[in-house]
Amino acid sequence: GAVVSQHPSWVICKSGTSVKIECRSLDFQATTMFWYRQFPKQSLMLMATSNEGSKATYEQGVEKDKFLINHASLTLSTLTVTSAHPEDSSFYICSARDRYRGDEKLFFGSGTQLSVL
Amino acid sequence: QKEVEQNSGPLSVPEGAIASLNCTYSDRGSQSFFWYRQYSGKSPELIMFIYSNGDKEDGRFTAQLNKASQYVSLLIRDSQPSDSATYLCAVNTAGRRALTFGSGTRLQVQP
């Protein structure tokens, strides 16, 4: 399967700081990447769809000014949590689809556990 | 009604038994169905996908799809303790490029 690399794996930060999470497709090109968030014992909730070279599409209820997404190349998307607060503590997971595959399979990064103190 | 529904469990089965995991979905236009396995603190791992009605087998795993009933299931034969995890059903819904996930079923395989 395709490999998606996500960094960092975990981060602890103080309230009010910003945190950047990187997501890279290592062996394929991804025009679209998806950012999910997962709270404990809950399912994955889509936050936004990251599109290479254009603005991200955010799901209802997700603040675009708080969760900044940049998809500057076919292999890299970043999510920046700005002015993080304790309620932003969650497991953030990126995923991508191989643009040359004819199917809908999503491959996931290893996730980032964010803890905001 | 949730778009993708799963029983949260836990589903407890003895080692060597067949584990049966179920999922229903609301969008009749859905075409692709996936089962992911997620260990605690880890990201989901794709284990099965199915696009057509009927059964699809891969090793110890069998996915079953019934579009008329809007139902997809996952059977795990000869369950092992290492199969203990949360199993997420995911569906592509019309007009969305991302997958929609169910809340997951926690499976416990007892040694």
- Cα distance between residue B32 and residue B8, in whole Å: 22
Low-confidence spans in chain A with pLDDT less than 50: none
* pLDDT tens per residue across span A68-90: 999 888 889 999 999 999 999 99
Using an 8 Å CB-CB cutoff, list chain B residues near A1. Answer: 46
Inter-chain residue contact B97 with A97, CB threshold 8 Å? yes
Q: What is the model's pLDDT at position A102? A: 64
The tens place of each residue's pLDDT in chain B, 111 residues long, gives: 678 999 988 999 999 999 999 999 999 989 899 999 999 989 999 999 999 999 999 999 999 999 999 999 999 999 999 999 999 999 987 667 788 999 999 999 999
- Cα distance between residue B3 and residue B24, in whole Å: 8
- Cα distance between residue B31 and residue A82, in whole Å: 37
Partner A contacted by B100 (CB < 8 A): yes
Nearest residue to B99 (alpha-carbon basis) of B33, B50, B43? B33
CA end-to-end span of chain B, whole Å?
A: 36
Half-sphere exposure of A74 (CA within 13 A, CB side): 8
Q: What is the model's pLDDT at position A38? A: 94
Q: What is the model's pLDDT at position A53? A: 82
Q: What is the model's pLDDT at position A1? A: 63
Give me the residue from A6, A34, A111 closest to B98, CB to CB: A34
Q: What is the model's pLDDT at position A103? A: 67
